[in-house]
């Protein structure tokens, strides 16, 4: 089964961007990426990996490969991602990969390799990310996951339906 994610609205992307933009600068920096990896995903990455990831995101957002142009290497200068490029990154990613492919790694990371994700897993992730979910968050999640858990296919259906 291949699911598709309905096009994300600018407001939804802005909400995601604001969660990632920890210092509210209007652009994502290496520090923001580091926080997302270490605090939200419990993954330790090196400075080199952070730089590589940022350059890759920028290349997705600009449609360029990040290589030198006219004898000048632009990669070291540009290690921030503004909202406009963030939208382009998301759109590029959604065009290149299936929803299951995009979500599988995140699913495995959140679950710690278990075969089911739980409402508790998602509430903890929202808390780590600093997302204000409100008192009805559990109810809204249980509405989408009546057994309070989901395997990858069910999780993808839940995400696709949001």
Element (H, E) at 88: helix 83-96
Structural domain for 51, as ranges: 8-96
62 within some domain: yes
89 and 101: one domain?
no
Pairing of strands 117-118, 81-82: unpaired
Contact (Cβ atoms closer than 8 angstroms) between residue 8 and residue 81: no
Calpha distance 75→96 (Å, rounded): 23
- CATH of residue 91's domain is 1.10.238.10
25 within some domain: yes
Contact (Cβ atoms closer than 8 angstroms) between residue 97 and residue 127: no
Number of domains in the chain: 2
74 and 138: one domain?
no
Instruction: Give the predicted TM-score (pTM) of the model.
Output: 0.68
- Per residue in 53-66, pLDDT (tens digit) is 999 999 988 876 54
- Per residue in 127-161, pLDDT (tens digit) is 888 787 778 889 999 999 999 999 999 999 888 77
């Amino acid at each position: 089964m291949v699911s598709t994610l309905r096009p994300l609205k600018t407001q939804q992307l802005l909400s995601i961007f604001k969660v990632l933009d920890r210092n509210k600068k209007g652009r994502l920096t290496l520090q923001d990426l580091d926080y997302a990896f270490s605090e939200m995903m419990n993954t330790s990455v090196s400075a080199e990996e952070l730089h590589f990831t940022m350059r890759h995101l920028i290349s997705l957002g600009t449609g360029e490969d990040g290589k030198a142009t006219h004898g000048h290497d632009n990669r070291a200068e540009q290690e921030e991602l503004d909202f406009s490029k963030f939208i382009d990154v998301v759109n590029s990613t959604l065009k290149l990969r299936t929803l299951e492919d995009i979500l599988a790694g995140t699913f495995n990371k959140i679950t710690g390799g278990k075969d089911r994700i739980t409402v508790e897993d998602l509430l903890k992730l929202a808390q780590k990310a600093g997302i204000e979910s409100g008192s009805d968050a559990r109810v809204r999640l249980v509405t989408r996951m009546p057994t309070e858990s989901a395997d990858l296919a069910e999780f993808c259906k839940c995400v696709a339906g949001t």
